[in-house]
């Protein structure tokens, strides 16, 4: 059985969606990042980067959400391009990397500098907001001409987009969805799927810490300890 190391955040949500869509048996292992569970020796042996999600599948250990999606897709043959379709595979790998290296990081940094940074730096807030907006605009343009990111086939790329689309209201102020009608269409379609509803409900299986107090800041942003020395 797969062990799934989870916290309620965009990246674990992608993996939760695949596991539920594929009806794979898994054991949920909560990692409360606000309490610092990600820094325990046991978890760092699984992911030296101290981030969720991660999975252990027999003797296979995979961390990074998009690497996990690709591994699960390849090992199950689900939600991937048809075999012998190099063009579609190239599109899948490109867009999966685009979400992993662009959409996710810029959205996350936009949230950090706007909502969590103790010093509000206009340059940083503007940079990450504009870059997040630009990346989501590229996703919007892609989806405006096709049902899913790869055309008519629901794939792991759509799952990756869905994971971060769940946070759009937190990334941007106001009715930003109005500028992303095609992304909203995809988000609503996937969110209505029973698997997505089960994936979302995983957050209720464990009482995760929610207060952004000194302990949470210390565990979420450990690099800031240098500022106190």
CATH number at 135 reads: 1.20.1050.10
Do 41 and 102 fall into the same domain?
A: no
> What integer is the mean pLDDT of 56-77?
98
Do 205 and 146 fall into the same domain?
A: no
Whether the predicted pLDDT of 161 surpasses 90: yes
Nearest-5° angle of CA 124, CA 142, CA 19? 85
pLDDT in tens, 134-153: 999 999 999 999 999 999 99
What pTM does this model have? 0.95
Q: Which is higher by pLDDT, 116 or 12?
A: 12
CATH number, domain with residue 27: 3.40.30.10
Instruction: For the chain, give the mean pLDDT.
Output: 95
Do 145 and 184 fall into the same domain?
A: yes
pLDDT in tens, 109-120: 999 999 999 899
Do 26 and 90 fall into the same domain?
A: no
Whether the predicted pLDDT of 219 surpasses 90: no
- Cα(112)–Cα(90) distance, integer angstroms: 32
CB 24 within 8 A of CB 77: no
Whether the predicted pLDDT of 83 surpasses 90: no
Do 180 and 221 fall into the same domain?
A: no
Do 96 and 175 fall into the same domain?
A: yes
Would you state the pLDDT for residue 229? 57
Q: How confident is the model at residue 220 (pLDDT cuts 50, 70, 90)?
A: confident
Do 53 and 103 fall into the same domain?
A: no
Do 21 and 54 fall into the same domain?
A: yes
Do 64 and 103 fall into the same domain?
A: no
CB 185 within 8 A of CB 153: no
Which residue range(s) make up the domain with 33? 2-78+199-228
- Number of domains within the chain: 2
Do 158 and 206 fall into the same domain?
A: no
Do 157 and 216 fall into the same domain?
A: no
Q: Kind of pairing, strands 26-30 and 54-57?
A: unpaired
pLDDT in tens, 186-209: 999 999 999 999 999 999 999 998
**Least confident interval from 37-41, 56-60, 112-116, 214-218:** 214-218
Do 179 and 125 fall into the same domain?
A: yes
Whether the predicted pLDDT of 99 surpasses 80: yes
Q: Which is higher by pLDDT, 55 or 211?
A: 55
- Cα(206)–Cα(184) distance, integer angstroms: 29
- Cα(1)–Cα(84) distance, integer angstroms: 30
């Amino acid at each position: 059985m797969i062990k799934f190391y989870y916290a309620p955040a965009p990246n674990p949500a992608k993996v939760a969606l695949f596991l539920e869509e594929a009806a794979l048996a898994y054991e949920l292992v909560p990692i409360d990042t606000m309490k610092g569970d990600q820094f325990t020796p046991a978890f760092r042996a699984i992911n030296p980067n101290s981030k969720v999600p991660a999975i252990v599948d027999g003797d296979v250990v995979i961390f990074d959400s998009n690497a996990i999606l690709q591994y699960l897709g390849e090992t199950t043959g689900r939600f991937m391009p048809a075999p012998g379709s190099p063009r579609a595979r190239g599109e899948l790998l490109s867009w999966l990397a685009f979400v992993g290296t662009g959409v996710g990081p810029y959205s996350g940094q936009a949230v950090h500098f706007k909502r969590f940074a103790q010093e509000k730096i206009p340059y940083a807030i503007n940079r990450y907001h504009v870059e997040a907006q630009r990346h989501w605009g590229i996703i919007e343009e892609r989806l405006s001409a096709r049902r899913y990111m790869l055309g008519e086939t629901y794939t792991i790329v759509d799952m990756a987009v869905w994971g971060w689309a769940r946070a759009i209201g937190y990334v941007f102020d106001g009715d930003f969805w109005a500028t992303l009608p095609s992304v909203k269409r995809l988000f609503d379609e996937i969110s209505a799927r029973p698997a997505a509803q089960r994936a979302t409900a995983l957050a209720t299986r464990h009482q995760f810490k929610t207060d952004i107090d000194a302990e949470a800041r210390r565990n979420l942003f450990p690099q800031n300890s240098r500022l106190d020395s």
